[in-house]
Amino acid sequence: MPEQATYTHGHHASVVNSHARRTAKNSAAFLIPHIKPHYRILDVGCGPGSITIDLAQLVPQGSVIGIDAVEDVLSQARELARARFGAVGNVTFQQHDANELPFSDGEFDVVYCHQVLQHVHDPVAILKEMARVTRKGGLVAAREVDYGSLSWYPELPGLDKWEDIHMKVMKLNGAHPKAGRYLKAWAREIGFAPGDITFTWDSWNYQDGDAAIWAQSWSERALRSSYATTSLDTGIATQEDLDYVSDTWRKWGEIEGALIIIPNGEILCRVKEE
């Protein structure tokens, strides 16, 4: 069945540019030690491809396929790959719905998704598809934010307003804003045994310049991304609310010592060898 949930953030430049700053080091460190140079990897929901391309550089004798549901963002990923690799590389990008992966059973050594399961209607079904196309002995890996566990300083009231709107929009869209804490339970639901699941907890820790970049991104996203349009269209927020949130993020990013901690749940699931 095609995806039923609505992607909360959309693909405004403020969103895609933020996602393009992600790397394998800051977003897939838990997976990197398990990757071998000959591996075939599938990156589900790859977005602008920055993590995907990093993974491809870790498998010089292997290959990586990045998939996403939106062709526009895949075009950006292909441009980035050309800039990194030139005309030849071991990474390709394809448009697919993760609910129905067009790959054979056991085709990949590693199937990975980053900040995808929080945005889909049925994360368990997506994980099941990911496991299906992973070889026996291979790894299913996922990393998801838990928006119910964010911490920031200073604690400006406008950021509480931002969080309230964000949680309401995600739930309205059929998404799972606390996905990080549910990853292990979802993996158990599709049949992974406890001994085959490694659950870890990591975070993005944005301070100083990184905090300012995050703040600038959300100052713009609060007014122009799908977060904004959905908020207004559904009555979750008014334009005055969004102006307040945007202005708060801008001011917060200018405060010396500002920081935000964004926790992420992580799972590595080993497909049982029979």
> What type of residue is 54?
D
- The answer to whether position 2 is within a domain reads no
CA distance 235 to 57: 45
Is the pTM for the entire model greater than 0.85? yes
CA dihedral 268, 36, 102, 50 (to 10 degrees): 80
Q: How many CB atoms are located within 10 Å of the residue 208 CB? A: 11
- Say whether the peptide bond before residue 263 is cis (omega within 30 degrees of 0): no
Contacts made by residues 93-97, CB under 8 angstroms, sequence distance 24+ = 93/46, 93/49, 93/52, 93/65, 93/66, 93/67, 93/68, 94/65, 94/66, 94/67, 95/67, 95/68, 95/69, 95/70, 95/71, 96/67, 96/68, 96/69, 97/2, 97/3, 97/69
Please report which helix (H) or strand (E) contains residue 160, including its range. helix 157-172
The answer to whether 129 and 59 are in contact (CB under 8 A) is no
- The answer to whether position 217 is within a domain reads yes
Structure confidence at residue 7 (pLDDT): 79
Query: Over 70: is that where the pLDDT of 246 sits?
Result: yes
- The answer to whether position 6 is within a domain reads no
Query: Which residue range(s) make up the domain with 170?
Result: 13-270
Structure confidence at residue 11 (pLDDT): 76
- The answer to whether position 3 is within a domain reads no
Structure confidence at residue 66 (pLDDT): 97
Structure confidence at residue 88 (pLDDT): 59
- The answer to whether position 259 is within a domain reads yes
- The answer to whether position 162 is within a domain reads yes
Q: How many CB atoms are located within 10 Å of the residue 228 CB? A: 23
Total count of domains within the chain: 1
pLDDT tens digit sequence for 130-160: 999 999 999 999 999 999 999 999 999 999 9
Structure confidence at residue 1 (pLDDT): 66
Q: What is the mean pLDDT of residues 214-241?
A: 95
What secondary structure does DSSP assign to 209-266, as a single string?
HHHHHHHHHHHHHHHHSHHHHHHHHHTSS-HHHHHHHHHHHHHHHTSTT-EEEEEEEE
CATH of the domain at 159: 3.40.50.150
3-class secondary-structure state, position 43: strand
- The answer to whether position 1 is within a domain reads no
Helices (H) and strands (E) in the chain, counts: 10, 8
- The answer to whether position 5 is within a domain reads no
pLDDT tens digit sequence for 153-204: 999 999 999 999 999 999 999 999 999 999 999 999 999 999 999 999 999 9
CA distance 251 to 212: 10
Query: Over 90: is that where the pLDDT of 114 sits?
Result: yes
CA distances for 51 relative to 115, 139, 172, angstroms? 12, 17, 29
Please report which helix (H) or strand (E) contains residue 200, including its range. strand 197-207
pLDDT tens digit sequence for 39-83: 999 999 999 999 999 999 999 999 999 999 989 899 999 998 988
The answer to whether 115 and 48 are in contact (CB under 8 A) is no
Q: What is the mean pLDDT of residues 123-129?
A: 97
